[in-house]
Amino acid sequence: MNLEDTAPAKQISRRRWWIHLILIGGYFAAAIPFALSQTPRRPALLSSPRGLLIVCAIQIALFSIVFGLGWLASRASAEELLLKWRPKWWVIPLGISYSIAIRLIVALVLFVIVAILIGTGLLARESVPAFAADSRTAAERIVDISAMQHNRTYFWLTVTIASFVVAGLREELWRSGTLAALRALWPNLFEGQDGQIAGLALIAIVFEFPHLRLGLLAAAMAAVLGFLLGIIMVVHQSIWPAVIAHGMFDATSFAFLPIALEHLQHT
């Protein structure tokens, strides 16, 4: 077999990876125009258990279809998508530990941002409470805080299905799927650990824009969180520690949200 016989197969493979990238990589990018043009009038997870389940089901179904079509195009392996269960039984304790570490890092980054803004005069000290209120605004655009406080079913659905499946599993699959396409299409740039981390930085920037509807601060924190979760994924060559870390981060954030916001109201 000569080189001319093998060239078309390589070209088809590359086209299929482009389809994979457009479908899977573009899943969250497609929400950017909506995020930039509209401010949500009600929580993304609605205000009732039934509404929350419907939203979660729609999100899971849409992503499953897009991810499935992307995979059918590329036929990416479990290794390429980082789907192997690593590092075995350490996955869950590592994920919990990483979620704690990420929370500390995000808090530190937030503190540094506020300190820089105050130091440069871009944020007055008396404006800090209003700046902190942006966190409440972002939270209210995701969940119904009153329902979290008074409806136990809504609360538990939020800290389980919404946190671990819709956020944790779906977003880490998206991240690994997008990274797999970058590695296949531009191996010289995105292979190896350093290259993969560079790819994750680009992915984190894309992930930031759909979150602008939650506010600039929330979008920046989403980018930081996504980048840190991506690093976990690359270090272990597996999505699962990152899925557990992501789910735990969101679940604990939602669980303590009503308590924290009630405390802020009193202080």
Long-range contacts of 45-53 (CB under 8 A, 24+ apart): 45/142, 45/143, 45/144, 45/158, 45/162, 46/144, 47/144, 47/146, 47/147, 47/154, 48/147, 48/151, 48/154, 49/151, 49/153, 49/154, 49/157, 52/154, 52/157, 52/158, 52/161, 52/162, 53/157, 53/161
Q: What is the pLDDT of residues 201-227, one digit of tens each?
A: 999 998 888 877 777 777 888 899 999
Provide the 8-state DSSP code for 210: G
Domain ranges of the chain: 3-266
- For 143-178, write each residue's pLDDT tens digit: 888 888 889 999 999 999 999 999 999 999 999 999
Do 240 and 169 meet the contact criterion of CB atoms below 8 Å apart?
no
What's residue 6's pLDDT?
Answer: 43
The per-residue pLDDT for 149 is 84
φ and ψ at residue 142, rounded to 5 degrees: -105, -50
**104, 252 contact by CB (below 8 A):** no
Residue 69's φ and ψ, nearest 5 degrees, are -65, -40
> With the C-alpha atoms ordered 108, 109, 114, 116, is the resulting torsion angle positive or negative?
positive
| Contact status, residue 21 vs residue 119, Cβ threshold 8 Å | no
Confidence of residue 5 (pLDDT cuts 50, 70, 90): very low
Q: Do the Cβ atoms of 43 and 140 come closer than 8 Å?
A: yes
Structure tokens at 151: 């409806």
Residue 49 has pLDDT above 90, yes or no: yes
In whole angstroms, give the CA distance from residue 29 to residue 23: 10
Averaged pLDDT score across all residues of the chain: 84
- Which burial class, exposed, middle or buried, applies to 44 when counting CB atoms under 10 A from its CB (0-12, 13-18, 19+)? middle
- Burial class of residue 197 in the structure, from the number of CB atoms within 10 Å of its CB (0-12 exposed, 13-18 middle, 19+ buried): middle
Given a cut of 90, whether residue 231 has pLDDT beyond it is yes
User: Which of 23-37, 56-70, 75-89, 163-177 is predicted with the least confidence, judged by mean pLDDT?
Assistant: 23-37
